[in-house]
Amino acid sequence: MDKRTFGNTDIQVTPVGLGTWAIGGWMWGGTDEARSIDTIHRAIDKGIGLIDTAPVYGFGRSEEIVGKALANGRRDKVALATKVALNWSDDHDKVWRDSTASRIEREIEDSLKRLQTDRIDIYQVHWPDPKTPMEETARALEKLYQAGKIRAIGVSNFTPSQMDELQKSVPLHSLQPPYNLFERDIEQEILPYCRENGIATITYGGLCRGLLTGKMREDTQFTGDDLRKNDPKFQGDRYRQYLNAVAELDAFAKERYQKNVLALALRWLVDQPGVTTALWGARRPEQLDPVDDIEGWSLDKEAMAAIDDILDRYIDDPVGPEFMAPPTR
């Protein structure tokens, strides 16, 4: 897979990265460690050069699994991204934002240990914390950056004004926002801001919690702690609108490119100006088989316009990913 320079750093990444929220198990119905490790190995074998995780994904489990998977010589094959600034109760019943210096100082050591590494390539503030001064957060990150424990400072789910505020105290290298065919709010201000300021992007939710795989049906059941039970996209008439749009997108992809909707959704992301890496969430090795289907072709302006027309015709009650935002303290 081709490499891209990560913003204004010397880090090299690939257009597709592996997202490991589901691998952690929390809100995804549990985890299988051996299968998850096989999935990470398959991603590396396919040339994926960025792996993204976070402490809150399984309350350490995702990072632990990633660390085990990257042992024995695989660590240097990827850019490793993780996050900081979420806290949780001992029983894992509550999660909240916490970007205090003390939280960052604790979490960096925990993450390095779980990931079995001496440095994190891209360290990201998971959500903005309005109850902690931005300067306090920035100074804690700068300390880690100067010590060589992290190679790039990133944020996730930040607005341009919040990024401006952070950059008063520390360099900012990347942003991780939600972005997919169905969730496109960042096109208005955030993507232009990142392009203008040389900030790399790692987009998440590329397949919209599985909607864009083409495998969802109206009678698909979500059980246990599956977050889609609370996702408004998967409820009632709105769910049917999205399913109808997916069916039409799939037909378009097959007719125009001999591809399916999953390949179309990822190719669409990779071709967007300002997107550095698009994350692909997988928890089984075979889920990565379609990676090959996004190589060797691209979407022109006519195809982009046709896709927009499909969305306009089928979805009259769109909704974003706001339901996932954790509370403040």
63, 21 Cβ separation under 8 angstroms: no
Q: Which residues of 131-170 are buried (b: 16+ CB within 10 A; e: fewer)?
A: ebebebbbebbebbbeeebbbbbbbbbbbbebbebbeebb
50 is written with which tokens?
């960025």
Contacts of 184 (CB under 8 A, 6+ apart): none
Catalytic site residue from 57, 193, 204, 242: 57
Instruction: Return the closest-CA partner of residue 113 out of 157, 160, 149.
Output: 149
Please confirm, yes or no, whether 57 is among the known catalytic residues: yes
Please state, in angstroms and rounded to a whole number, the distance separating the CA atoms of residues 63 and 83. 10
- CB environment 183-202: b (16+ within 10 A), e (fewer): bbebeeebbebbeeeebbbb
Indicate the burial class of 7 (C-beta count within 10 angstroms; 0-12, 13-18, 19 or more). Answer: buried
Residues noted as catalytic: 57
